[in-house]
Chains A and B, each alone.
Chain A
Amino acid sequence: DAGVIQSPRHEVTEMGQEVTLRCKPISGHDYLFWYRQTMMRGLELLIYFNNNVPIDDSGMPEDRFSAKMPNASFSTLKIQPSEPRDSAVYFCASSFFGRGRGTEAFFGQGTRLTVV
C-alpha cells in the first residue's frame, strides 16, 4: 500500500479564499483523523471519522472549517473563508482497530498551507 496520501503538498492562497485539502487513507482502515500542526500549538486533532461517519469534531476551530468523508477511500477538509492564522501543516492519518491489530496512526506527508 502507498500509505496515506494527501494533496496538495503545498498550498498558498489569499485571505478569504476557499481551500480544500484532500486525503486518501490506507485501504481497509476504518478510522480517519485530521490534525493541524503549528510551532505554537503542536499537533492538534481537528476531527475524526469511523467508517466514514464523523465521530468528534470538537477540535474544529471555527465554523469556517468543515470535513467530509463521502466514502472509505476519500476525505476532504475545507476552510472557507481562509485566514492567515489558518497557516499550518495539516495532516491526515488513518488507523485500523480490528481485533488483534495495533492502535497506531499512520500519517500522510501533510499539506503545508500558507494564507497570505
Chain B
Amino acid sequence: SQKIEQNSEALNIQEGKTATLTCNYTNYSPAYLQWYRQDPGRGPVFLLLIRENEKEKRKERLKVTFDTTLKQSLFHITASQPADSATYLCALPLGRSNTGKLIFGQGTTLQVKP
C-alpha cells in the first residue's frame, strides 16, 4: 500500500542554521507533492507544491526538492528563526488524478532555538 515516512524524531537546530526535513514515499508515483505547516491547536497550512517534472522549488526562505527516482522530497528552511518552530507535514495525492485526495505523513516537529 502507499506509504509516506517522515522522521518522527523532533529536529532541534540553532537560529540562523538551515533546517532540512525529509519525506520518503513508497509504492506509487505521485504527480505532485505538498508541504504543510501545523502549529499547536491549529489546522495545517499549505506552504509549497512541487510537481513531478520539477526538481526544485523556492519560496522566500523555503526550498523543496523532489527526486522521483529516490522517491524522496527534501524541505529546507534557510536562516531559520524561532518563529519557524512547528510541525511540518508532507502530503501526496492518492492516485494520479487531480482530486486533491491527499494522504499525509506523520510530520516532523522542528524546534529552532535562539
Interface residues of chain A, those whose CB is within 8 Å of chain B, are: 4, 31, 33, 35, 42-43, 45, 48, 50, 55-56, 91, 93, 95, 97, 102-110
Contacts and interface: CB of A to CB of B under 8 A. Distances in A.
- Interface centre among A35, A50, A105, by most chain B C-beta atoms within 10 angstroms, is A105
Contacts of B46: 102, 104-106
Given A103-B32, A103-B49, A43 B44 contact: yes
B100 to A, nearest CB: 4
Contacts of A93: 43
B27 interface: no
24 contacts: A4-B43, A35-B104, A42-B104, A42-B105, A42-B107, A43-B44, A43-B89, A45-B94, A45-B102, A48-B100, A91-B43, A97-B98, A97-B100, A102-B49, A103-B32, A103-B98, A104-B46, A104-B49, A105-B44, A105-B100, A105-B102, A109-B41, A110-B42, A110-B43
A33 B105 contact: no
Contacts of B45: 107
Given A42-B106, A102-B49, A55 B42 contact: no
- Interface centre among A35, A42, A50, A56, by most chain B C-beta atoms within 10 angstroms, is A42
Interface string B87-98: 001010110001
Nearest to A40: B106
B6 to A, nearest CB: 9
- Interface centre among B43, B93, B102, by most chain A C-beta atoms within 10 angstroms, is B43
Given A42-B106, A42-B107, A104-B49, A31 B99 contact: yes
Contacts of A108: 43
A105 B102 CA distance: 9
B103 interface: yes
A52 to B, nearest CB: 15
A50 B105 CA distance: 24
A104 B50 CA distance: 11
